[in-house]
Amino acid sequence: MSQRSTGLGDHERGSAAATGSTAATDFPLDYVHVWRDWCRMVGLSPVTAWREVKAGRGPIITKLSPRLTGVRHRNHLAWLEAREQHNHEAA
């Protein structure tokens, strides 16, 4: 199944064209970053990011199709906030 067949436009899918120069805080909460774009945005390799998700330390993921996964922007922000709180507790 291709990205186009999901019925989502570039905005909802979070394609590279849509995320090119937009700051991470400029997205609507329901915007979905496709997996590779999200990994690039947070500075993790896709493999490392999957390890974090499987270990329960990653964001909630959104399955767009059998082969297309993403992260809803609201879940990205919650993940960032949880990491900040954890870092403050350790300090």
74, 83, 88, 89 from 16: Cα distances, Å: 19, 25, 33, 35
Domain count, the chain: 1
Instruction: Print the domain residue range for 51.
Output: 4-90
R_g over Cα of the chain: 13
pTM summary value: 0.66
pLDDT in tens, 7-39: 444 444 444 444 444 566 689 999 999 999 999
Other beta carbons less than 10 A from residue 45's beta carbon? 11
pLDDT at 7: 43
